[in-house]
Amino acid sequence: MPRYRLTLEYDGRGFVGWQRQASGLSVQQALEEAVAAFCGERVTAVAAGRTDAGVHALAQVAHVDLARDFPPERVMGALNAHLRPHPVAVLEARRAGPGFHARFSATERRYLYRILNRRAPPALERGRVWHVIRPLDAERMQEAASLLVGRHDFTSFRDSQCQAASPLKTLRRLHVRRCGEIVEIHAAARSFLHHQVRNMVGTLVLVGGGRRPIAWVAEVLAARDRSRAGPTAPAEGLYFAGVGYDA
């Protein structure tokens, strides 16, 4: 049974997230229904990382197992044709190597958070950025972000509903940069706690806006108390940006 590795992009608005839910349309459901429409097979699509409602993807990776061996370009074309009613696109389809698993083979997951930092509200970017009016100092945010890089107990940035066995995570990268009116925050780790990226972003925005000192972030991390950190940044600014796999 051939396994196909798919790279997807999607607009998270209108979806309940990646994973199937009791009510509402998920990205997983849309993809599985596209496979059924293409070849009549009922499959379970497995993703490298589950995204919440409203979160977007630039390069989500998923796999599906099909009974028949189709050329990858045909799989890509057919799925995109059947996905057309939804804001989901298959950017690439290829046969997966032996033992490949979209989730368990991943060695790194990357996220991008985008903040529109200006007084005027977004028009073209509505639903795709967090609009923050207060001027943000990206350099201060970067200094604060550097305090979070490494292996730490991230309880202070963990959602109360997180099901991870341990709050210990190794944050490989947390980089802040300004591109005109957009402040970008890039994060990379093997895995993240639920809402970890959004909680870190909400904390960094307090520093960037001058409401908290840079050293406060280290105090929040050491406290291991979610109530000490900043607010959870909105879902619409978050993008699943990519996945790393061993060669």
The pLDDT of 216-227, averaged and rounded, is 98
Q: Give the domain-ending residue among 95, 118, 152.
A: 95
Instruction: Tell whether 192 is covered by a domain.
Output: yes
The pLDDT of 229-241, averaged and rounded, is 98
Same-domain pairing of 71 and 111: no
Q: What residue numbers bound the domain in which 124 lies? A: 107-245
The pLDDT of 15-23, averaged and rounded, is 94
User: Residue 210: pLDDT band by 50, 70, 90 thresholds?
Assistant: very high
The pLDDT of 44-66, averaged and rounded, is 97
Q: Give the domain-ending residue among 65, 95, 125.
A: 95
Annotation says 137 is catalytic: no
Q: Could you give the CA distance from residue 48 to residue 6 in angstroms, rounded to a whole number? A: 10
Q: What is the number of structural domains in the chain?
A: 2
pLDDT of residue 36: 97
The domain that holds 184 is classified in CATH as 3.30.70.660
Whether 181 has a pLDDT exceeding 80, the answer reads: yes
* Element at 57 (helix H, strand E): strand 56-65
The domain that holds 59 is classified in CATH as 3.30.70.580
3-state helix, strand, coil in the chain (%, to 5): 25, 30, 45
Whether 93 has a pLDDT exceeding 90, the answer reads: yes
Q: How many CA atoms lie within 13 A of 222 on its CB side?
A: 6
The pLDDT of 191-216, averaged and rounded, is 98
Least confident piece of the model among 59-68, 85-94, 157-166: 157-166
User: Residue 98: pLDDT band by 50, 70, 90 thresholds?
Assistant: confident
Instruction: Tell whether 101 is covered by a domain.
Output: no
| Residue of 11, 52, 159, 225 marked catalytic | 52
Given its phi and psi angles, is residue 152 left (phi above 0), alpha (psi -120 to 50 degrees) or beta?
A: beta
Same-domain pairing of 78 and 192: no
Whether 134 has a pLDDT exceeding 80, the answer reads: yes
Same-domain pairing of 189 and 70: no
Amino acid at 222: A
Same-domain pairing of 146 and 91: no
* Element at 240 (helix H, strand E): strand 238-245
Same-domain pairing of 177 and 66: no
Instruction: Tell whether 100 is covered by a domain.
Output: no
Q: Could you give the CA distance from residue 202 to residue 188 in angstroms, rounded to a whole number? A: 17
Same-domain pairing of 126 and 165: yes
For residue 40, list its beta bridge partners. Answer: none
Same-domain pairing of 211 and 114: yes
Q: Could you give the CA distance from residue 106 to residue 246 in angstroms, rounded to a whole number? A: 8
Same-domain pairing of 215 and 132: yes
What is the token pair recorded at 15?
A: 């979806």
Whether 141 has a pLDDT exceeding 90, the answer reads: yes
Same-domain pairing of 56 and 149: no
Check if the beta carbon of residue 195 is closer than 8 Å to that of residue 154.
Answer: no
The pLDDT of 141-147, averaged and rounded, is 98
Q: Where are the alpha helices (DSSP H) in the chain?
A: 27-39, 72-83, 138-146, 196-208, 216-223
Q: Where are the alpha helices (DSSP H) in 169-234?
A: 196-208, 216-223
Whether 247 has a pLDDT exceeding 80, the answer reads: no
Q: To the nearest whole number, what is the mean pLDDT of the chain?
A: 97
Chain centre to alpha carbon of residue 109: 8
Same-domain pairing of 152 and 30: no
Instruction: Tell whether 102 is covered by a domain.
Output: no
Query: Beta-carbon neighbour count of residue 7 at 10 Å?
Result: 20
Q: Could you give the CA distance from residue 65 to residue 42 in angstroms, rounded to a whole number? A: 10
The pLDDT of 49-73, averaged and rounded, is 96
Whether 170 has a pLDDT exceeding 80, the answer reads: yes
The pLDDT of 55-71, averaged and rounded, is 97
Q: Give the domain-ending residue among 58, 75, 95.
A: 95
